Amino acid sequence: MPAVKTRHFLQLVLLSALWGASFLFIRIASPLLGPNVMAALRIGLGTLTLVAIMRAAGEPWPWRHWRELFGLGTLTVAVPFLLYAWAALHLPAGYSSLLNTMAVPFSVLAAAWMKEDTLSQRKWLGCLCGFAGVALIVQLGPVEPTPSLLVAALACIIASACYGVSTTWMKRATTRMSPLSIAAGIHAAALVLLLPGAAWSLPEARFTAGAVAAVAVMGIATSGLAYWLNLRVLAQVSPVAAMSSAFMIPLFGVAWGHVFLGEALGPGMLWGGALVLVATGLVTGFNPLRWLGALRPGKE
């Protein structure tokens, strides 16, 4: 994996903290607002945030790339946001954040298929470890593996696959559009896709103060600003390196869920989570000692 500069590493840590927290907020808001309304509100606030930044920066909309933006918006925003919102009705936040790490092996497979990377024995081993880790999480975690839990876990894996397979496409898009315009465009496209379902489910939504606050944080910080930051990093590093932020998301997601929601930590979560993190390291070439060494004074 190409070397990643200190500022990129710190940006990836910040992204991991933000996205790890988003699973906590989804778990709070989705049961009250419903998956359709919550996902649409989150995306709508993200769109408004990015539009405001675009207006302040005087940046035009990339209208001629609308087909590509709809495709990317479907894969990277609309589908995963909706699936994670639905899964939160059945899964603890820590589960969802760990399953999100499966985006990394999917990203490697997609990059190899699109001739952006090669599949070595180490990466194949990483993919196998990842799937084994997911099996442990689902079967041995602190929640009974009921049919609804298994379906929710599958929804998280599909959402992770959407993130993974679209990363290389997103990287290529940064050569044609600015990170800010891509972030705004994919959120606007996703909002158009999810508005009908949100309107249908609106009468059943319960707009409590906690749910509204959770969606506000997600829309502004973990969607609008975080996607813009992610695309800025992606424009400067390889797709697989950018996806390595998924390595740290479970650390934050499990921690936030345990501290703020009292979610239990069972042996399956610990061992399965460890396998998933090992898988991420294998497929990305992530070496924490080498990366932390980059933080020494004098390193850029």
pLDDT digits (tens, 9 = 90+) for 277-296: 776 667 666 655 555 555 45
Model confidence over 110-152: pLDDT tens digits? 777 777 666 678 777 877 777 777 667 656 566 677 888 889 9
- List all residues 6 or more positions away from 75 whose beta carbon is below 8 Å from its beta carbon: 162, 163, 165, 166, 169
Model confidence over 215-241: pLDDT tens digits? 999 999 999 999 998 898 888 776 666
In the chain, what percentage of residues exceed pLDDT 90?
Answer: 43
Q: What is the pLDDT of residue 146?
A: 84
Q: Which two tokens stand for residue 170?
A: 């997103």
CA distance 84 to 55: 31
User: Exposed, middle or buried, 261 (CB in 10 Å: 0-12/13-18/19+)?
Assistant: middle
Q: Which two tokens stand for residue 248?
A: 């740290």
- More confident position, 191 or 261: 191
CA 299 to chain CA centroid, Å, is: 29
What confidence category does residue 1 fall into, taking pLDDT thresholds of 50, 70 and 90? very low
- Report CA-CA distances (Å) from 26 to 103, 107, 171, 263: 19, 24, 27, 14
What backbone phi and psi angles, to 5 degrees, belong to 200?
Answer: -65, -40
Q: What is the pLDDT of residue 145?
A: 73
Model confidence over 187-201: pLDDT tens digits? 999 999 999 999 999
- Average pLDDT over the chain reads 82
Element (H, E) at 168: helix 147-173
Please check the confidence at residue 255 and state whether its pLDDT lies above 50: yes
Cβ(216)–Cβ(46) below 8 Å: no
What confidence category does residue 63 fall into, taking pLDDT thresholds of 50, 70 and 90? confident
